[in-house]
Structure 1
């Protein structure tokens, strides 16, 4: 999978630093830091507190009333966090306490934190409200597990904005854009980067793959499950045909056209780089479509050969893949684009991978 920085490199220490400690420890170590949002840096010695021009950075301090920039830590805000933590979009964030995780290194030629991998709203007393995510999109899910968590997540991601199947073409050009070439998309199973406009039905064109096979529940390309971008990906036409409606499992013979991909009569094993992506898309579909509002009740199960039943397997394999291939920035960026520009809902298992085990343990 093409990523901007390694998932492994973003794992942080569990103990948070104060801002003053972080300022003293500018050694590029990965750390979590807690502080109050006090403004947006514009230079090494200047922080503005209103009329913010963008969502790219913020300054935090140990006191919400701090005005001395030497007592502030400058935080870089990657694209996946800007909608929730950028001050242009969220000016009311000023004065709130947050926790940020990333590399302790200079930003704006000032003590800072870059390559930010996590940003969390905290309660005023520095606690975590309900597990560290109070006041966020997932507020109603925090502290839950099992079927209770699944229901809470369903209620959060349900009723998203739906798009037509014809509009999926243009959406995929955006969601699956090659981070190294804005003219291309990355194809899911082959990993090939090719022109965004080489879609179609010809040899080596790309088309729209339903990762949750659309025959599993027979929903076709109808708006809703049939056009849900969280499980639609660009794939090579013939590779898509080879996959067909097979369930996911390990084993089989080399597919041939897609590297490190195996298949047999009833299962499909994609390359290692996207195994986790596939698993998290299947888990999303299970939680999103629960049979209310006249929709199908889609369920992941532990078998293959599910045919037209509204089931998809194989659960034990998908759990293995989820752990084997952690979330990376291609997935995070995709989740953000779908949320901000199209459906306005998120895949919770990209944001919170730990919730997979909390539901399917």
Structure 2
């Protein structure tokens, strides 16, 4: 509501911001002719101030004068229009720089990725589509196009999302800003494909740009942006920035001065009065089953404008939203029955009736000695040297790799993680032992990945410049498990290949550490341990007995009078990689053997 009110207040002023006669040559035109006329207008007077000039420009163009009005950087990825912002950037002093989390610094984000035009001028420094945004969020957005997200793999602190597309016509990964800034993004991209329409045939598409002057955008992306332009009217913040950008660079964004230009050029994305629901999904059926997943297929529904997505329900609860006519529901329990139905939706929000409900039963649990998961990484996204969030599905498991690239190899394809992690979706057959091959790529130092199951560390995986296969035995956790390989380093780039784990059908015992009281006065350091020696910090005088347990409660070693002779360490027998509990009289300490 806030933006609609602002639009009504400022609608009369929006056209008045441009100099008298600025758009005269475009009067009376529509379609490709109007786009060409506007391209000529905004090309004339454009002064290229250089890439480094953007830092100076942001001190006038990207200052918050409409929300908090506090002189901080107006960042579309952190601004919360109706609440306090999660962090603030000071112009000039908060420039990137390096970053690891949100709020570290702001950088120069090309709303149309600069890789699509090979960082060439004047595009690389055009203030009209390059915003000051949080470095971390910009890095997560990477080179992905903008669209509607189904399941988010990353969400910024103001609600901007990265995830799978549910925009009709595109099923890849997309980035979605919050509603407040959807129109802002649309109008910046409209500016780009208008200002540089004569160059589009030489640019890469990035799954968003067209290869010709008109329409200049791929159909699916154009439909998304037209809808956003209509749903999110021009705000005061955009008008203020457009005026400041004109003062700095000498040209304007015509779609901010007159947002109706978009519909005059490309036509409205859909009738505002669309109230017709899609037809009911037909022929819903089960195409495949495993012990922890069921795959569904169905016939496409129809709509007077177009079906945008399908909502898949299991036992009455929404499980996923997809743009295709198939879906796989994972993380299910073996030998268990489930009921499914599907609902079709259009871009106006109209929903079809529920499809017929079908029932399916997952397969029986596999034998515990077999591998539950075998991931060879042969189906990862296309080779790319950029770092971004990568997602893919193989054999019923959906994988998410953050800050990852896909162009490195070990045995063949591998996923390479920098300042991020590799995480599986839920697998219902537990985990016995885990095996994986790792290799340090490029520069860096030898270290270890941290392995977590359901968020709890269960061991570490060493890596070096030599490809090495490592197994962690006796993890032995039953039920649903989510496995994560986390890279604690912010710079080492670790290739991961041939990841597998065995099922575990036994009953996982509660960690004995849950029943014991940890003492802050004693600490194992370093932890993880190496060379089969445990160093204990704190007052160890008088401790009579040390007992080592595995996580299943089995006694691995018992030592009487472990700290005689003023020793502060315990030499132990060979322990396999994994997590253990050291009991010192009545005090328990957890440690990891790497």
TM-score range, shorter chain: 0.5 to 0.7
The secondary structure found in structure 2 opposite 1:6 is: helix
Q: How far, CA to CA, are the matches of 1:177 and 1:360 in structure 2?
A: 32
1:184 alignment counterpart? 72
The secondary structure found in structure 2 opposite 1:162 is: coil
Cα deviation code 1:208-263 (max 9, x no counterpart): 000011122x331x431111000010111110000000011101334222422222
8 Å contact 1:177–1:186 — kept in the other structure?
yes
Q: How many residues align?
A: 238
Cα deviation code 1:90-130 (max 9, x no counterpart): xxxxxxxxxxx5xxxxxxxxxxxxxx56649xxxxxxxxxx
1:230 aligns with 2:128: yes
Cα deviation code 1:60-101 (max 9, x no counterpart): xxxxxxxxxxxxxxxxxxxxxxxxxxxxxxxxxxxxxxxxx5
Q: How far, CA to CA, are the matches of 1:308 and 1:325 in structure 2?
A: 24
8 Å contact 1:231–1:285 — kept in the other structure?
yes
- Identify unmatched segments of 5+ residues in structure 1: 12-100, 102-115, 121-132
> Which structure has the highest helix share of the two?
1
Which of 89, 107, 112 is the equivalent residue of 1:207? 107
1:256 aligns with 2:155: yes
- Per the TM alignment, residue 9 of structure 1 is displaced from its structure 2 partner at its CA by 3.6
1:175 alignment counterpart? 61
Q: How far, CA to CA, are the matches of 1:258 and 1:312 in structure 2?
A: 30
Which of 175, 180, 197 is the equivalent residue of 1:273? 180
8 Å contact 1:286–1:298 — kept in the other structure?
no
1:290 alignment counterpart? 197
- Per the TM alignment, residue 157 of structure 1 is displaced from its structure 2 partner at its CA by 0.5
Cα deviation code 1:262-314 (max 9, x no counterpart): 222521111111000000000000000022xxx5558998xx73599897651
Cα deviation code 1:110-165 (max 9, x no counterpart): xxxxxx56649xxxxxxxxxxxx995100000110001101110110114100111
Task: Identify if the C-alpha distance between structure 1 residues 253 and 173 changes in structure 2 by more than 3 Å, giving closer, same or farther.
Answer: farther
Q: How far, CA to CA, are the matches of 2:125 and 2:192 in structure 1?
A: 12
1:358 alignment counterpart? 264
2:251 alignment counterpart? 345
Q: How far, CA to CA, are the matches of 1:235 and 1:327 in structure 2?
A: 20
Q: How far, CA to CA, are the matches of 2:196 and 2:211 in structure 1?
A: 14
Indicate the RMSD between aligned Cα atoms, in angstroms.
Answer: 3.2
Larger Rg: 1 or 2? Answer: 2
- Per the TM alignment, residue 2 of structure 1 is displaced from its structure 2 partner at its CA by 9.5
Which of 154, 157, 161 is the equivalent residue of 2:39? 154
Q: How far, CA to CA, are the matches of 1:149 and 1:238 in structure 2?
A: 38
- Per the TM alignment, residue 167 of structure 1 is displaced from its structure 2 partner at its CA by 1.1
Task: Identify if the C-alpha distance between structure 1 residues 169 and 247 changes in structure 2 by more than 3 Å, giving closer, same or farther.
Answer: same
Task: Identify if the C-alpha distance between structure 1 residues 214 and 309 changes in structure 2 by more than 3 Å, giving closer, same or farther.
Answer: farther
- Identify unmatched segments of 5+ residues in structure 2: 80-84, 164-171, 268-594
Task: Identify if the C-alpha distance between structure 1 residues 285 and 344 changes in structure 2 by more than 3 Å, giving closer, same or farther.
Answer: same
Cα deviation code 1:170-222 (max 9, x no counterpart): 11121010114454111122215421120113332110000011122x331x4
8 Å contact 1:239–1:257 — kept in the other structure?
yes
Matches within 5 A, 1:1-361: 6-10=6-10, 101=12, 119=16, 136-159=21-44, 160-179=46-65, 180-181=68-69, 183-191=71-79, 192=85, 193-196=88-91, 197-203=93-99, 204-216=104-116, 218-220=117-119, 222-254=120-152, 255-264=154-163, 266-291=173-198, 295-297=199-201, 305=207, 314-340=221-247, 342-361=248-267
8 Å contact 2:108–2:133 — kept in the other structure?
yes
The secondary structure found in structure 2 opposite 1:260 is: coil
Task: Identify if the C-alpha distance between structure 1 residues 354 and 309 changes in structure 2 by more than 3 Å, giving closer, same or farther.
Answer: closer
